[in-house]
């Protein structure tokens, strides 16, 4: 039996196919109902989590990486196997504490089986850029708006609200909540007239992990769609926390930003 295998717990979106494609001999599983397109993933249910964990150990898996988006599944009490039922109080308590708490408890449960949970940045470090401007040039006003957005996310972090904000001319036009980034940018587009000076700074979309977030899981991500949505919202560009955000297709993002006249900035 081959040892030291990596398992990918794949979710929806473009990230999981990138991770699976870059790993040799990875086994791939997906929470039922959240499998990504284009990936051959074996489904599992949270009610039978212990069976999945046993399977990973038996298959020689030592490391696990979570890649992609999922939402909280509805649990069916009739489907719990006895060992997973023993974990139910931990799972339910964590879910009540918010997304971060739930994810930390899931990591802890995997580690109880001797499985090391690693981040996407650990297996594909090139997807998480360090400090620097990748496209365009943020103005002094843009940099102030990005700083303001970073402060807003830092303040909201303990409330487990979201990982994105839009700020224009020092004013917060939108923050990311449960509907996600696209809904936030659509809201900002519909309310861009609220900027005090129509000829002033157009605004910045800023993305960052939550303060204190376990960065092995649920790291925020940006892709070409993010650039298109920011352009449609009339923003000047996109900034994010350096070493804290996944870029799903850097080359395509840079090309799209150049074409739209937006900046892309990994902010320290």
Residue 184: its pLDDT value, please?
Answer: 97
Whole-number average pLDDT of the chain:
93
Looking at domain 5-123, does it have CATH number 3.40.50.1950? Answer: no
Residue 1: its pLDDT value, please?
Answer: 45
Asked if 110 and 117 touch (Cβ cutoff 8 Å), the reply is yes
Compute the C-alpha angle 138/258/254, nearest 5°.
90
Residue 104: its pLDDT value, please?
Answer: 86
Task: List the domain boundaries for the chain.
Answer: 5-123, 128-267
- Tokens 């295998």 locate to 5
Name the pTM for this structure: 0.89
Q: How confident is the model at residue 97 (pLDDT cuts 50, 70, 90)?
A: low
Measured in residues, the chain has a length of 268
Q: How confident is the model at residue 143 (pLDDT cuts 50, 70, 90)?
A: very high
pLDDT beyond 80 at 259: yes
Share of the chain above pLDDT 70, in %: 98
Nearest Cα residue to 15 out of 38, 33, 32: 38
Q: How confident is the model at residue 73 (pLDDT cuts 50, 70, 90)?
A: confident
Distant-in-sequence, close-in-space partners of 139: CB < 8 Å, separation ≥ 6 = 201, 236
Collapsing DSSP to helix, strand or coil, 238 comes out as strand
Per-residue pLDDT of 25-67, as tens digits, reads 899 999 999 999 989 999 999 999 999 999 999 999 999 999 9
Name the helix (H) or strand (E) containing 224: helix 224-232
Residue 3: its pLDDT value, please?
Answer: 60
Q: Which CATH class is domain 128-267?
A: alpha beta
Asked if 26 and 7 touch (Cβ cutoff 8 Å), the reply is yes
């Amino acid at each position: 039996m081959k040892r030291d295998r990596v398992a990918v717990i794949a979710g929806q979106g473009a990230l999981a196919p990138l991770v699976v494609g870059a790993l040799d001999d990875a086994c791939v599983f997906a929470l039922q109902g959240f499998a990504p397109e284009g990936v051959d993933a074996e489904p599992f249910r949270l009610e039978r989590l212990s069976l999945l964990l046993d399977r990973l150990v038996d298959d020689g898996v030592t490391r696990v990486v979570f890649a992609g988006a999922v939402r909280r599944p509805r649990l069916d009490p009739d489907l719990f196997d006895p060992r997973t039922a023993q974990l139910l109080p931990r799972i339910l308590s964590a879910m009540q504490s918010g997304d971060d708490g739930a994810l930390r408890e899931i990591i802890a449960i995997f580690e109880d089986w001797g499985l090391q949970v690693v981040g996407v940045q650990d297996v594909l470090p090139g997807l998480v850029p360090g400090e620097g401007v990748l496209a365009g040039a943020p103005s002094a006003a843009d940099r102030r708006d990005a700083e303001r957005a970073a402060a807003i996310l830092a303040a909201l972090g303990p409330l487990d609200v979201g990982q994105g904000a839009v700020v224009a001319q020092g004013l917060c036009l939108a923050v990311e909540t449960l509907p996600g980034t696209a809904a936030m940018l659509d809201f900002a587009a519909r309310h861009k007239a609220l900027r005090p000076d129509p000829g002033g700074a157009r605004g910045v979309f800023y993305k960052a992990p939550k303060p204190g977030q376990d960065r092995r899981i649920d790291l925020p991500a940006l892709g070409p769609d993010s650039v298109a949505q920011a352009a449609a919202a009339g923003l000047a560009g996109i900034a994010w926390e350096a070493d804290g955000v996944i870029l799903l297709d850097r080359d395509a993002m840079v090309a799209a930003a150049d074409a739209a006249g937006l900046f892309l900035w990994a902010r320290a």
